[in-house]
Amino acid sequence: MIEASGIRARPPVVARFLEAIGDPSDRLLLAAFFLSVFSLDYLPQVFAATGSFPTTEFIGFAAIAIVLQRLGADRLLRRWDYIALFVASAVLLHPWRHTGGLALTGVGLLFCLRKDRRLAALGQLSLALAVLDIWGQMELTAIEAKLVPIEAWLAYIPLSLLDSFALLGNSIFHPDGREVSVEGSCSAFRNMLAVALLWLSFMKIRNLEYSLRSLGALAAGLVMVVLVNTLRIDLCAWSAENFQYWHEGPGVGVLSMTMLVLALAIFYVGLAGADDRSAP
Amino acid sequence: MAKIVTTAAFFVALTAPAFATPAPAPELGTSALGFLLASGVAYLLNRRAGK
């Protein structure tokens, strides 16, 4: 391809790339930021030795990608936003594991109350990811002493109907004297946060406004998590063999998948048929 | 300056225990299969949003 001037024209892809770099759109800047956080903090978890897959966080980023797609070529960021994104990106350079969570918190607070639905959605999703990564864990540490006995009491109710179990604080005593203690790490709290992130992601993917129906779906998801976790504590307390299976063995994966499938079913039924009052 | 130092110290004290707490087990959807299922639902919802 030779232009009239005799200078070889750039292939369209290269020309588009150079144009994008020379005058980046808001979407490109935001995509670069979220892609950095995803690649630095979340993608490595897939290859981690523990082998656990960050499903809810990945769905959160999928929702961010879909919202970014809706952003199109619109110019929505203000001068201060560019500076904030620059600072947040610079923070990511630090190797501390939770810098991504801090950067997401800053960007989330900046965007979550914007009038533009798409920017607000990005802010809310950022905050939800940050809560799951940092702030939720901190909150659990703060309320653990009060929360865990309540969860132990919930688990004790069905057990007390079936046999002569006893409850003392956060410990459930089997009739044969065996004791099962409900620790903070056994709490349903983190899974409730994960379910809330899943719900928010689906809300943004579906492009819905908050309504009684959608909030009802969230409430149903949260209740489901508490019930499944209570059932798990009951199964662990029932016998030593059960404890081994449901706490250390394949039962962990079974309950993990059960919770996810139930949450997906509840949210699909709750959100798929809801009225789409989407704005842009 | 004192305010900044106090705030930073408070922040560190507040956040430090959080990172020492182990993650609970089981966590919701920690397998690739779970991710595929969730992606399927996300895809269906996105398709409905596009209609």
Q: Pick the residue from chain B with its C-alpha nearest to A140.
A: B18
Torsion angle in degrees (nearest 10) through CA of A231, A232, A235, A238: -90
Residues of chain A found within 8 Å of residue B35, distances taken between Cβ atoms: 53, 55, 58-59
Q: Which of A58, A138, A268 sits opposite B18 (nearest CB)?
A: A138
The confidence score (pLDDT) of residue B21 equals 43
Q: Pick the residue from chain B with its C-alpha nearest to A251.
A: B26
E strands of A48-186, at which residues?
A: 166-168, 171-173, 179-181
E strands of chain A, at which residues?
A: 166-168, 171-173, 179-181
- Amino acid, single-letter form, for residue A2: I
Are residues B38 and A268, on separate chains, in Cβ contact within 8 Å?
no
Are residues B32 and A137, on separate chains, in Cβ contact within 8 Å?
no
Return the structure tokens found at A134.
Answer: 């940092």
Average pLDDT on B9-35 reads 60
| Residue carrying structure tokens 């947040």 | A88
Distance from the A29 Cα atom to the nearest Cα atom in chain B, whole angstroms: 23
Dist CA A120 CA A65 (whole Å):
14
Dist CA A194 CA B28 (whole Å):
7
Query: CA separation (Å) from A30 to A94, A130, A158, A176, A201?
Result: 19, 16, 49, 59, 17
| Residue carrying structure tokens 């719900």 | A199
* Ordered strands of the A171-173 beta sheet: A166-168, A171-173, A179-181
Dist CA A218 CA A139 (whole Å):
20
| Test mutation, A42, A206, A229, chain B, max B CBs within 10 A | A206
**What domain range is A21 assigned to?**
12-272
pTM of the model: 0.84
Q: Is residue A3 part of a domain?
A: no
Dist CA A169 CA A153 (whole Å):
8
| Test mutation, A38, A199, A205, A252, chain B, max B CBs within 10 A | A205
Are residues B14 and A138, on separate chains, in Cβ contact within 8 Å?
yes
Q: Helices B32-50 & A55-71, crossing angle to 10 degrees?
A: 30
Dist CA A40 CA A199 (whole Å):
24
Domain boundaries, chain B: 24-51
| Residue carrying structure tokens 């594991």 | A97
Q: What are the tens digits of pLDDT across the range A134-190?
A: 898 888 888 888 899 999 999 999 999 988 888 888 888 888 888 888 888 888 898
Instruction: Give the number of domains in chain A.
Output: 1
Q: Assess whether pLDDT exceeds 80 at residue B16.
A: no
- Looking at the DSSP assignment, which residues form a beta bridge with residue A172? A167, A180
The confidence score (pLDDT) of residue B19 equals 46
Residues of chain B found within 8 Å of residue A134, distances taken between Cβ atoms: 15, 18
The confidence score (pLDDT) of residue A214 equals 92
* DSSP 8-state code for residue A166: E
Q: Is residue A6 part of a domain?
A: no
Distance from the B2 Cα atom to the nearest Cα atom in chain A, whole angstroms: 23
ipTM of the modeled complex: 0.78
Average pLDDT on A39-67 reads 87
Q: Is residue A205 part of a domain?
A: yes
Instruction: Average the pLDDT over each of A100-109, A131-140, A221-230, B23-32 and give the range with the smallest value.
Output: B23-32
Average pLDDT on A188-215 reads 92
Q: Is residue A170 part of a domain?
A: yes
Residues of chain B found within 8 Å of residue A184, distances taken between Cβ atoms: 21, 24
CB atoms within 10 A of CB A20: 12
DSSP codes of every residue in A17-32: HHHHHHS--HHHHHHH
Residues 6+ away with beta carbon under 8 Å from B23: A185, A190
Q: Is residue A1 part of a domain?
A: no
Q: Is residue A268 part of a domain?
A: yes
For chains A and B, CB pairs below 8 A equal 130
